[in-house]
């Protein structure tokens, strides 16, 4: 395995990203040292390379990546993994608003708490939050699965069209066109497989507490209000 280290200290985001894209053509693993919460790290990276951000990242970390596997050892700002089409983003700490916004595929994992609008307008893929998630998580969700191990705040699943939100903690309130359904055993088995892959340790009792938020209608903006829920 070929590995290279890139020191991001005193570099602008464009300089770091240019260096990463060049290194990704010849290396299997890239370590970004001294990231200093820089915004837009790895934006548009399309090589299937492993990248470790050795510290915290700023806004839009790994936005629009395709195929890269990104591990952030610290925290992330707003919108990590935004609009990614393939790949993986793992954040060991917390993150801000809009985690996994608009993803088309791939997996975004944040081990601790996040802000609001998690998984907003996601089309497919998986977003996993190890702690709590803020208001309007799953807003305008169009597909995929959002897994919240902790609590979810106000207006969960606001105007969601498709997709599923799994919540291990409390649901403060549901958004328009969202409703709660019971999980079946196959879904619990699926959750166990996914969460074990990312080293989340839950008891059988924890899994039995999960609730599922799904859309009431796949056409919530048509027809009478009563039909929209």
Q: Which CATH number covers residue 149?
A: 2.160.20.60
Per the CB < 8 A criterion, the answer to whether 83 and 62 are in contact is no
Which DSSP symbol is given to 161? -
What domain range includes position 133?
Answer: 94-229
User: Could you tell me if 117 and 220 lie in one domain?
Assistant: yes
Closest-CA residue to 101 (of 74, 125, 121): 121
pLDDT of residue 227: 43
Q: Does 7 map to a domain?
A: yes
CB atoms within 10 A of CB 213: 25
For residue 136, what pLDDT is reported? 98
**Residue 20 maps to a domain:** yes
Whole-number pLDDT of residue 8 = 97
Residues 34 and 138 both lie in one domain = no
User: Does residue 172 fall inside a structural domain?
Assistant: yes
Identify whether 89 is part of a domain.
no
- Domain assignment present for residue 85? The answer is no
CB under 8 Å to 124, separation ≥6 — which residues? 103, 104, 105, 143, 144
Residue 1: predicted pLDDT: 87
Within this chain, do residues 106 and 149 fall inside the same structural domain, yes or no?
A: yes
Each of the 229 residues of the chain gets a pLDDT tens digit; together they read 899 999 999 999 999 999 999 999 999 999 999 999 999 999 999 999 999 999 999 999 999 999 999 999 999 999 999 999 999 999 999 999 999 999 999 999 999 999 999 999 999 999 999 999 999 999 999 999 999 999 999 999 999 999 999 999 999 999 999 999 999 999 999 999 999 999 999 999 999 999 999 999 877 766 554 444 4
Same-domain pairing of 107 and 203: yes
User: Within this chain, do residues 64 and 103 fall inside the same structural domain, yes or no?
Assistant: no
In a shared domain, residues 150 and 109 = yes
Global pTM exceeds 0.85: yes
82 assigned to some structural domain: no
Does 5 share its domain with 40? yes
Task: Say if residue 104 is in the same domain as residue 39.
Answer: no
* CA–CA separation, 133 and 110 (whole Å): 10
Q: Are residues 118 and 58 in the same domain?
A: no
- For residue 79, tell me if it sits in a domain: no
* Residues 2 and 47 grouped into a single domain: yes
Please say which residue of 20, 40, 71 terminates a domain: 71
As for how many domains the chain has, the answer is: 2
What pLDDT is stored for residue 138 in this prediction? 98
Is 81 contained in some domain?
Answer: no
User: Among the three residues 56, 71, 86, which one is the final residue of a domain in this structure?
Assistant: 71
Is 141 found in the same domain as 220?
Answer: yes
Q: In angstroms, rounded to a whole number, what is the distance separating the alpha carbons of residues 115 and 131?
A: 10
pLDDT at residue 222, rounded to an integer: 61
């Amino acid at each position: 395995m070929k590995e290279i280290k890139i020191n991001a200290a005193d570099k602008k985001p464009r300089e770091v990203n240019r260096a990463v894209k060049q290194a990704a053509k010849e290396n299997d693993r890239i370590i970004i040292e001294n990231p200093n919460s820089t915004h837009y790290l790895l934006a548009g990276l399309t090589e299937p390379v492993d990248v470790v951000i050795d510290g915290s990242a700023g806004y839009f970390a790994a936005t629009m990546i395709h195929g890269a596997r990104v591990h952030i050892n610290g925290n992330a700002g707003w919108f990590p993994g935004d609009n990614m089409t393939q790949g993986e983003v793992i954040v060991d700490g917390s993150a801000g608003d809009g985690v996994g916004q608009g993803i088309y595929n791939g997996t975004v994992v944040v081990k601790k708490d996040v802000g609001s609008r998690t998984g907003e307008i996601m089309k497919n893929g998986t977003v996993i939050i190890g702690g709590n998630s803020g208001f309007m998580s799953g807003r305008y969700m169009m597909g995929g699965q959002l897994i919240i191990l902790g609590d979810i705040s106000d207006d969960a699943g606001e105007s969601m069209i498709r997709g599923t939100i799994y919540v291990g903690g409390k649901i403060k309130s549901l958004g328009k066109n969202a409703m709660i359904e019971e999980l079946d055993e196959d879904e619990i088995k699926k959750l166990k497989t996914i969460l074990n892959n990312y080293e989340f340790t839950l008891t059988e009792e924890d899994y039995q507490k999960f609730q599922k938020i799904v859309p009431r209608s796949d056409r919530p903006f048509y027809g009478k209000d009563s039909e929209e829920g």
